[in-house]
Amino acid sequence: MTEAANPGAHSRRRSRPRIDLRRLGRAALMGPAVRDRLPDAIGHVVDAHRAHHPDADLATLHRAYVLAESSHRGQFRKSGEPYITHPLAVTLILAELGAETTTLTASLLHDTVEDTEVTLDQVRTGFGTEVAYLVDGVTKLEKVDYGAAAEPETFRKMLVAAGNDVRVMSIKLADRLHNMRTLGVMRPEKQARIAKVTRDVLIPLAERLGVQALKTELEDLVFAILHPREYERTRALIAEHSGACTALDTMARRFRTVLREAGIPAEVLLRPRHFVSVHRVCLKRAEPRSTDFGRLLVLVGEDADCYAVLGELHTCFTPVVSEFKDFIAAPKFNLYQSLHTAVAGPDGAVAEVLIRTHRMHTVAEAGVVALGNPYAPTEGAEPADGERADPTRPGWLSRLLEWQQSTPDPDHFWTSLRADLAHNREITVFRADGRSLGLPAGATCVDAAYAQYGERAHATVGARVNGRLAAMGTPLRDGDTVQVLLAQDTGSGPSPDWLDHARTPAARIAIGGWLDAHPEPSGAPPAAPRRPAQRTAERPAAANAVVDLPDATVRLAGCCTPVPPDRVTGFPVRGGAVTVHRRECPAVARMTRAGRSPVAVRWGDAADCRVTLVAESFGRPGLLADLTEAIAAEGAAIVSATVEPPTEQRVRHTYTLHLPDARGLTALMRAMRDVPGVYDVSRIQHRGAPAVPRPPSD
């Protein structure tokens, strides 16, 4: 399909004449002129369908049209046209996109159950369960039964149905497109209301399903209704630059020459930008370039040819490196594949270029419509582990179906749906076991936890991103590896702060539900920050460190806590004492730069030592007791201990320990790391940046 710089124009094959749906509607009321022959009114649908499916069985389409025409006979649209023109137009839209016969059959019948005396059982009896399911999926719920909740509940019903057959959405999108094309007969306020729903729900759905041909036209129609002034300015700008494609035509001819000489069979087409696309370019640049009103599309036969074309264009023209994107090696979540680049010609004109195969182009324009039913089981094949093979990878749809079950309130569902669809990009992150998670762009560790564990994520105490501990509010990037850490105490709950970090409705709904079920005691004063718990004991002398200064008092530095067999050095300080540091301690470098003279230090025969360890952990009941028990089990004595107030459920413990044998330090640290909730234990390296002691005065 070709993007049209006309919001009311529907993309058509060049060889097919424009279709007058009003004339077809009047002709439809008269029925077929010849028995057993398809009426002229559906002939255009048949032509479009055969262009994509030459061997299609048209008997079912014939019967569906006859039922639709007879059941809608006598009904008229607000424009005065016979009502049958609407299902015909919707079916033609889908036929042009390459939909298969079952989808077209359901499209012809999509309003019969809703607006006529035809029942769903009659559709099922005449056309089968599959067609009946599609018709039921797009049938609106009655306002008499649902009142103001009819619209959100209708969309909920449609989305749930699409979870089993995504073709339901295809029909709904084509239905909305034709309604938007003919919206001019409605009152302005009703036009605006329908346009807003289209903008917030239908256009994001079209984007996620990859149906760019429908999405771009819907965008332009909504643009014209909701932003008439900007639309008129854009329309005038396009008219003013109607001859601007000359530069692109010149570039296209150069491309054809280059590719022909390189022996690469390719088709080079000029694609005018649609209205919204031009408007976005104008927002980026104060003055649009002559080449900003269109792009060049290069179509080839094989994937490898795409890269061959890219190489030739980048060799013969000047590439704009910042504009290059490879959506073939890394397709978008809606199946879109293409190479994007921009090159400058000899005259300095810059042209944006799309390079793709013919198959990629079909999928880029028609999305899931061109794929038929992605959930249809392959004959003779059983899905593995009960999972359906899904070529559209709609992880977003799976997430939507999960969280909508937790939102019985229609208003809450409607608000959450719009918020979810507002995230129009998706990222893929990997779990610790190597499996992938699809998340909306901007998702955080909170969203990853609930996407992986559901309500079990209430017990999350932290996460590692690419092997490093990360706060729960850390935004994730495409390709990150996320390890969610759960507490053993399954009774623990999420922090209220997580609501600020959650980007997915599933996470927000689950966290909000838990907080509502576990309210804070009324009238309770806010908890004051806990003071560090501390216990101290007198520090014994470091008898196992020996220096070559008579009568010198030896002290082990608290900044690096040296223990045997560390390589150490010493520096004299006031009072005739020598402070012993590990050689890699930052204080050693500072004192050396200050001109201080080191003294030799060696370890004596005494095996005992003192060391300061820092344990980083997640907060949980009984953690301090478990840590002190592990320390005691290794024969170490606690000289002092400090527990800092928790931050984002993380707690820092600092222990100064006396070990009877320095060789047991490694085992002690391992035992502390094995305590549930502890994720790291290290020796203290440096406390701040203390001033370098002055040398003793004479």
CB neighbourhood size of 690 (10 A): 12
Which residue in 320, 317, 318, 324 sits closest to 339, CA to CA? 324
Which residue in 125, 107, 1 sits closest to 45, CA to CA? 107
Q: Is-catalytic flag, 698? A: no
What gap in Å lies between CA 135 and CA 65, rounded to an integer? 14
Question: Dihedral through CA 141, CA 146, CA 151, CA 153, nearest 10?
Answer: -80
DSSP 451-519: HHHGGGGGGEEEEEETTEEE-TTPBP-TT-EEEEEE-S-TT----TTHHHH--SHHHHHHHHHHHHHSP
What gap in Å lies between CA 320 and CA 216, rounded to an integer? 26
Calculate Rg over the CA atoms of the chain.
Answer: 35
What gap in Å lies between CA 529 and CA 643, rounded to an integer? 12
Q: Report the amino acid identity of residue 111.
A: D
Which residue in 120, 97, 91 sits closest to 28, CA to CA? 91
- DSSP letter (8 states) at residue 444: B
Structure tokens at 44: 């255009």
What three-state secondary structure class fits 177? helix
What gap in Å lies between CA 638 and CA 455, rounded to an integer? 39
What three-state secondary structure class fits 297? strand
Which residue in 77, 97, 106 sits closest to 213, CA to CA? 97
Beta bridge pairs of residue 688? none
Which residue in 657, 642, 654, 562 sits closest to 602, CA to CA? 562
What gap in Å lies between CA 258 and CA 358, rounded to an integer? 20
Catalytic residue among 40, 47, 114, 200: 114
What gap in Å lies between CA 571 and CA 363, rounded to an integer? 73
What gap in Å lies between CA 226 and CA 107, rounded to an integer? 28
What gap in Å lies between CA 601 and CA 598, rounded to an integer? 9
What three-state secondary structure class fits 132? helix
Q: Is-catalytic flag, 402? A: no
Structure tokens at 639: 């000289």
CA 227 to chain centre: 28
Which residues are catalytic, by number? Answer: 114-115
